[in-house]
Amino acid sequence: MFRIRVILAATLLVAGLHAAAAQTATAPAAAPATTQAKPSKMKLTMKKLKEMKASWAANKPKLKTCRAEVKAKGLTGDDRWFYIEDCMNKS
């Protein structure tokens, strides 16, 4: 029982120190409002993704080519979807 209390106390102490260190860390300077975030840093919503997929369905051969490029580059996550969006918007 004593060991459990000691371990619990140590865990709480470490968590408290970690939280205190996180609060004292300086935040990065805010970017100017006129610059846009890079696509890979933006949060992709399900609604936006469904809209993108619906617009791509009209041009399946081009979508197939874009997906092959994504696979060749090894892109994953949001980066993959933003690359396909750029690829589909090219003429």
First to last CA, the chain: 70
- Tokens (6 digits) for 76: 């994953």
Higher-confidence position of 78 and 72? 72
Asked if residue 79 is part of any domain, the answer here is yes
Boundaries of domain holding 53: 38-91
Quote the number of domains for the chain.
1
Task: List CB contacts of 55: < 8 A, sequence separation 6 or more.
Answer: 88
Helix orientation angle between 46-56 and 77-89, rounded to the nearest 10 degrees: 40
Asked if residue 89 is part of any domain, the answer here is yes
What b-and-e string marks burial along 34-49, b requiring 16 or more CB atoms within 10 Å of the CB?
eeeeeeeeeebeeeee
Asked if residue 75 is part of any domain, the answer here is yes
Asked if residue 28 is part of any domain, the answer here is no
Higher-confidence position of 76 and 43? 76
Asked if residue 15 is part of any domain, the answer here is no
pTM: 0.45
